[in-house]
Amino acid sequence: MKRLLGAEDLYKIQSVSNPQISPNGDEAVFIRTEIDEKDNKYYAQLFHVQLTTGVISQWTFGKERISSPKWSQDGQQVAFLSNRDEKNQLYVMNKNGGEAKKVTTLDSGVNSFLWDPSGQKVWISSKIKSGKTITDKTEKEENPLPKPYVVDGMKYKMDGLDGAGLVPQDSYSQIAVLDLKDESIEQFTTGDYQHSLQAISPDGKKLVIGVNRADNLDFVFKSPLLLIDIETKEEITIVDENGYYGGAAFSYDGRYIAFAGSDHAYKNATHSTIYIYDVEGKTTLSLTENIDSPVGDYAVADIQQGVSAPSVVWTEANELYFQMSTMGDVRLYYATLDGAIYPASPEGEHIYEYAVTKDGKFAIIAVSNPTFPGELYYYEIAAGERKQLTHFNDQFIQDVELVQPEEISYHVSDGSTVYGWLMKPAGFEEGKKYPLIVEIHGGPHTMYANTFFHELQLLAAKGYGVLYVNPRGSHGYSQAFVDAVRGDYGGGDYTDIMSGLDYAISQNDWIDTDKLGVTGGSYGGFMTNWIVGHTNRFKAAVTQRSISNWISFFGVSDIGYYFSDWQIGSDMLDPEKLWEHSPLKYAKNIETPLLILHSEKDFRCPIEQAEQLYITLKSMKKEVGFVRFPDNNHNLSRTGTPNLRIERLNQIVQWFEKYI
């Protein structure tokens, strides 16, 4: 008999990612990430699979995190990044055995790399202090005195950075080339700008890099891509428009460069598109502009680790593959240069990683669905047939009772259709009444999807039904739908969620309407705050990493000064509108017992947002709790310190158990 899922099952679920097929198509490498409960850390190891036999072998075993494995062009070596010596450095391993060789010892480590087609060199990017070269060594001070951080510019901090979240001063990402014969490094880019390494041409003569050379980046929101002749350093601009562009890849014949990007028409709500740049004709076309869904993976989940799917992959026949988020799925899509585009994988699942052979006959895909954490599959694309390659989560699936959610849809006030899912409690019995929790995703420009979500399964295991929907503002649907939340936070999105609750209740007599709870994080935390300030239907609420006050958010968030304008349509010249959309304004209306969860080092929604809400509610003698999580950022629920992730889940469950 299967057991119920627990919070500690996070330690048992393993994440499989980064499939990389060898040039001959006979073998592949990939990454498996697991949580070491004793060390309270994530470890990621390199694995190899022989595709003809299915035999899997582990290639690395240290207490480290391996990332970004890549085959050399001749298929004899694999390079990867490892933090085994604290900073990420580049290692090269012979596929026929032997210890991986560390080939860089850079002060700031290696951010990214690309094999040169010759197989004798590797292109790398690394942070370098202004006025220094990539090979300069910084002498460590024995007893360094504290130094002030002199703020210059508005983008001076960032959530997720080590330490205090402050962007390192006078430090710039530069590109260099490493000669594997003598391990010498020659710096390629210069200047006090951030350079990103994008792609190298098949003949090894041209690089695609990203760099923005504007003097002041405070209100610059673009990422130009340049095509550079390696010998002459002559530059050709591929794209230099407002928006975000990257993930470049050369076609095998070197004629075309594909990349993903989104313009600034709807700010950060704009659908991402695949673009094709013709190197000879110097023209660009938008390949997917007629499809009203975003390219890429916008699914929210909490178990996949170290995922870095390519934006686009070419075949030798100049066909392309890419991910698209559509109707709650993340599917693999196929396209040709003459505009033929169609899905290359089924509905009802989340393809969160993929690799395709040069001939386009098969792929390795990493697949998850609501009752399946994720494994790698060998996928014959034309036949639509797949064979499971990895089985790291078999024992977990065999041991634990998991709930299959039911897909729902309903019409809302503006005539749109909203889609979502309803999970019954584990062990559901007909004729019994059960409490229901409404979960709200962050973003808001992300989406719930047909993927495994440990937190949702945990609530079902604890005896709750779970309703989770994609209200207006969510990705995966039309451009008009994802844009509809901007300037209307707490308006149509609120009614979409409440209409979903009404619909679920009308269709399911097992829902106990006297025992409703609500929770969410980030935007979902904002919406939780908003909901309890506008209705007393819920018996308990848990708000996580939330926004409570748009006025203070403007100045304290790492993105506040522009995100507020993009999303609310206002700034400090019109604080009244910011206040109108702030849940704190409606604190006096809150009667629902509210638990506030927040990380100390959250620079996206800083903890002062939680502090304001907590003290305000306390001063009003409201029923409120506050839990602070040390040394974690905005991503606690997904990539945070393992034991604190468990404690966060326990706090949520305990609050609902107490008040529902």
Torsional sign, CA 54, 59, 63, 65: negative
- Binned at pLDDT 50, 70 and 90, residue 590 comes out as very high
Beta strands in 390-483 (DSSP E): 400-401, 406-411, 417-423, 434-440, 465-470
- Binned at pLDDT 50, 70 and 90, residue 216 comes out as very high
Using alpha carbons, select from 103, 121, 122 the residue that is nearest to residue 113. Answer: 122
pLDDT digit string (tens) for 260-308? 999 999 999 999 999 999 999 999 999 999 999 999 999 999 999 999 9
Q: Kindly give the interhelix angle for 642-659 and 454-461, rounded to the nearest 10 degrees.
A: 40
Write down the pLDDT at residue 143.
85
Candidate list 173, 196, 368, 522, residue with the active-site label: 522
Candidate list 48, 271, 445, 634, residue with the active-site label: 634
Is a pLDDT exceeding 80 seen at residue 449? yes
Active site residue 522: yes
pLDDT digit string (tens) for 23-51? 999 999 999 999 999 999 999 999 999 99
Reduced DSSP (H G I as helix, E B as strand, rest coil) percent helix, strand, coil of the chain, to 5: 20, 35, 45
Q: CA gyration radius for the chain?
A: 25
Average of per-residue pLDDT values in the chain: 96
Beta strands in 204-326 (DSSP E): 206-211, 225-229, 235-239, 243-250, 256-263, 273-278, 283-286, 313-314, 319-326
pLDDT digit string (tens) for 44-86? 999 999 999 999 999 999 999 999 999 999 999 999 999 998 8
The residues, any chain, with a CB within 8 Å of residue 616's CB and separated by 6 or more, are 584, 587
Using alpha carbons, select from 272, 287, 247 the residue that is nearest to residue 330. Answer: 272
Quote the CA–CA distance of 67 and 79 in Å, as a whole number. 10
**DSSP SS3 for 389:** coil
- Given a contact cutoff of 8 angstroms between Cβ atoms, the answer to whether 612 and 567 are in contact is no
**DSSP SS3 for 407:** strand
Q: Which residues pair with 211 in a beta bridge?
A: 195
pLDDT digit string (tens) for 337-380? 998 999 999 999 999 999 999 999 999 999 999 999 999 999 99
Write down the pLDDT at residue 446.
98
Strand 434-440 relative to strand 624-629: parallel, antiparallel, unpaired?
unpaired
Structure token pair of residue 512 = 């106990």
- Binned at pLDDT 50, 70 and 90, residue 88 comes out as very high
Is a pLDDT exceeding 80 seen at residue 582? yes
Quote the CA–CA distance of 543 and 595 in Å, as a whole number. 6
The residues, any chain, with a CB within 8 Å of residue 92's CB and separated by 6 or more, are 77, 78, 79, 100, 101, 103, 122, 180
Quote the CA–CA distance of 520 and 528 in Å, as a whole number. 6
Percent of the chain scoring above 70 in pLDDT: 100
Domain ranges of the chain: 406-659
Is a pLDDT exceeding 80 seen at residue 162? no
Write down the pLDDT at residue 137.
83
CATH class of residue range 406-659: alpha beta
Is the bond leading into 117 cis (omega within 30 degrees of zero)?
Answer: no
Using alpha carbons, select from 415, 414, 438, 434 the residue that is nearest to residue 425. Answer: 434
pLDDT digit string (tens) for 382-431? 999 999 999 999 999 999 999 999 999 999 988 899 999 999 999 999 99
Using alpha carbons, select from 41, 49, 39 the residue that is nearest to residue 19. Answer: 49
Quote the CA–CA distance of 279 and 282 in Å, as a whole number. 5
Is a pLDDT exceeding 70 seen at residue 163? no
Quote the CA–CA distance of 582 and 595 in Å, as a whole number. 18
- Binned at pLDDT 50, 70 and 90, residue 142 comes out as confident
